[in-house]
Amino acid sequence: MQDEDPVKKFVALVPYQVKKEGAAQLVIAPAKIRPAVVAELGRLANLPEGPFPKEGLIDTLLAGVQTKWRLKANSPTAEWVLTPN
């Protein structure tokens, strides 16, 4: 993972950490890094092209820990919410 793009590394590690902490959801709010983060989340969730709202699933395995998240996005500039699936 050391050679990975920093955004991809962030997107991979955050859901892993959130699961370890037992959080009920993760909200990605507008910020400077947000455009790159939401683009990677959208890619991982296989969000369809076209108008919002959109919903998708992210299923990842990191350090032997499986994480499954439902991603809900009402618009490109609104909060994107991930909840355990």
Q: Tell me which amino acid residue 55 is.
A: E
Please, which residues have CB within 8 angstroms of residue 61's CB and are 6 or more apart in sequence? 67
By C-alpha distance, which of 48, 47, 60, 54 is closest to 14?
Answer: 60
Q: Are 15 and 58 in contact (CB under 8 A)?
A: yes
pLDDT of 57 > 90? The answer is yes
Residue 71: pLDDT band (50, 70, 90) is very high
CB atoms within 10 A of CB 27: 10
80-84 and 65-73 strand pairing? antiparallel
Residue 1: pLDDT band (50, 70, 90) is low
What are the residue boundaries of the structural domains of the chain, listed by start? 6-84
How many angstroms separate the CA atoms of 20 and 29, rounded?
Answer: 21
pTM: 0.75
CATH 3.30.450.90 for domain 6-84, yes or no, is: yes
pLDDT of 14 > 60? The answer is yes
